[in-house]
């Protein structure tokens, strides 16, 4: 965690406890998501804390109203059969009470530990996940191309700019050739659009070709403005569009390369619009791309890997749209419980695309669990992530992805030379 950056985690810890109040305040006000508008914040916290204090008082009264165990009283009984039955019953009551208190204490300790870890520790532990993706038809000149992906920053009330800056610094430290941005740059509203764009401008300013698509939360803010600001910052926005990586220079070129099959193929970087709030058209993005060119597609939502349009095009050959899809959106469920996994994943396909590499019906899908948080200011079992994809020339018809190598939060932080 950044020095002096403790204020936001502590604020988030209290905000997480106010979740019941947020649910009620949202229902009453009709607002979606957590708003940083002061009246709604005050109402949410007021409702929640009144509920917590009331519940604590009620539990305390119920506990004190329970009869004390006679087994610990100096009653002087113990002679005769009736007294023996009483003492035995008192001992059972005492044991039951100790058992209930022990279970309550264990649940309390586990809950408190999870709350502290999920708010003060895990949301701020950036990790690096590395993949090798073999793509058929990738030119030898592009073998070893390093792509770094950042997703779901959710800059806003619960995600401070210093976490985004830290993620960008560490992404730069990976020494990528190209940067992939897969949406949800802001959480909601227009307040953070300009700040998000100026932070992400660090990639183009470092001389790195940078491409991106919008996510559903950018639409909850102002998608056209977000797109415009990122474009002004030097990010090539690819919502239902495509560009190419020149094999000789490893720079972006926008024009469709010639059909000369003897020369090395460029790599097509395409994107589709958000699956929930926009439209996702592979045809718009890729209709004029020659079949020999390998194509990597950015889609904020991994569910766009199973659209009718994509399925109809087929898995391989001249009609295919994608060789590899790179996504975000799911946050890995954001809370993943031991032995259970993530109880909630925002996908039509359950946990299939929750996090990591999955075999989609047409091609592999890589899903990042992102950097920021949504709905709850909590991450548990799904720490924020930077993804590094190294492309390899694949001999097969269909692209393949090798298992993720996950490193801890101490991966190199050297600056780009
Ligand atoms: Fe997101």
Distance 304 CA to ligand 1 centre (A): 15
Domain ranges of the chain: 7-121, 126-407
**How far, rounded to the nearest angstrom, does the alpha carbon of residue 254 sit from its chain's CA centroid?**
30
Distance 330 CA to ligand 1 centre (A): 6
71 burial via Cβ count (<10 Å: 0-12, 13-18, 19+): middle
Distance 187 CA to ligand 1 centre (A): 8
pLDDT of 162: 93
Residues with CB under 5 A from ligand 1 (ion): 152, 184
How many C-beta neighbours within 10 Å does residue 161 have? 15
Distance 63 CA to ligand 1 centre (A): 43
Residues 106-124: pLDDT tens digits?
888 888 888 888 888 889 9
pLDDT band at 395 (very low <50, low <70, confident <90, very high): confident
* Selection from 87-101, 112-126, 150-164 with the highest mean pLDDT: 150-164
Distance 370 CA to ligand 1 centre (A): 7
Distance 152 CA to ligand 1 centre (A): 4
> What pTM, to 2 d.p., does this model score?
0.84
pLDDT(408) > 70: no
Distance 320 CA to ligand 1 centre (A): 28
CATH no. of 126-407 = 3.60.21
pLDDT(291) > 80: yes
Q: The tokens of 192 are what? A: 């953070």
pLDDT(66) > 50: yes
């Amino acid at each position: 965690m950044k020095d002096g950056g403790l204020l936001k985690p502590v604020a988030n810890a209290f905000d997480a406890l106010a979740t019941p109040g947020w649910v009620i305040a949202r229902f009453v006000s009709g607002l979606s998501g957590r708003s940083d508008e002061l009246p709604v914040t005050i109402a949410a916290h007021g409702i929640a804390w009144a509920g917590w204090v009331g519940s604590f008082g009620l539990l305390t009264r119920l506990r004190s109203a329970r009869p004390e165990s006679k087994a610990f009283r100096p009653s002087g009984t113990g002679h005769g059969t009736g007294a023996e039955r009483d003492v035995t019953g008192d001992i059972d009551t005492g044991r039951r009470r100790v058992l209930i208190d022990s279970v309550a204490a264990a649940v309390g300790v586990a809950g408190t530990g999870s709350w502290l870890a999920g708010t003060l520790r895990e949301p701020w532990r950036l990790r690096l996940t590395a993949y090798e993706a073999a793509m058929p038809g990738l030119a030898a000149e592009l073998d070893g191309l390093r792509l770094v992906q950042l997703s779901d920053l959710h800059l806003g009330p619960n995600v401070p700019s210093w976490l985004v800056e830290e993620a960008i610094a560490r992404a730069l430290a990976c020494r990528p050739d190209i940067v992939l941005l897969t949406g949800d740059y802001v959480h909601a509203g227009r307040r953070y659009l300009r700040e998000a764009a100026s932070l992400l401008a660090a990639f183009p300013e470092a001389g790195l070709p940078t491409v991106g698509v919008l996510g559903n939360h950018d639409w909850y803010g102002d998608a056209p403005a977000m797109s415009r600001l990122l474009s002004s910052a030097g990010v090539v926005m690819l919502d239902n569009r495509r560009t190419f990586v020149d094999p000789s220079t490893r720079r972006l070129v926008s024009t469709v390369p010639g059909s000369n099959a003897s020369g090395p193929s460029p790599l097509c970087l395409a994107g589709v619009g958000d699956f929930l709030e926009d439209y996702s058209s592979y045809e718009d993005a890729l209709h004029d791309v020659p079949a020999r060119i390998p194509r990597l597609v950015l889609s904020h939502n991994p569910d766009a890997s199973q659209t009718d349009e994509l399925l109809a095009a087929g898995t391989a050959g001249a009609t295919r749209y994608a060789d590899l899809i790179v996504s975000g959106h799911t946050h890995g469920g954001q809370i993943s419980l031991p032995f259970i996994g993530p109880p909630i994943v925002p996908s039509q396909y359950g946990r299939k695309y929750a996090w990591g590499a999955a075999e989609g019906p047409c091609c592999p899908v890589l899903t990042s669990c992102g950097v920021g948080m949504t709905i709850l200011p909590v991450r548990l079992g799904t720490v924020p992530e930077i993804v590094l994809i190294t492309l390899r020339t694949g001999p097969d018809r269909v692209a393949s992805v090798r298992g993720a190598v996950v490193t801890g939060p101490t991966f190199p932080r050297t600056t780009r030379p």
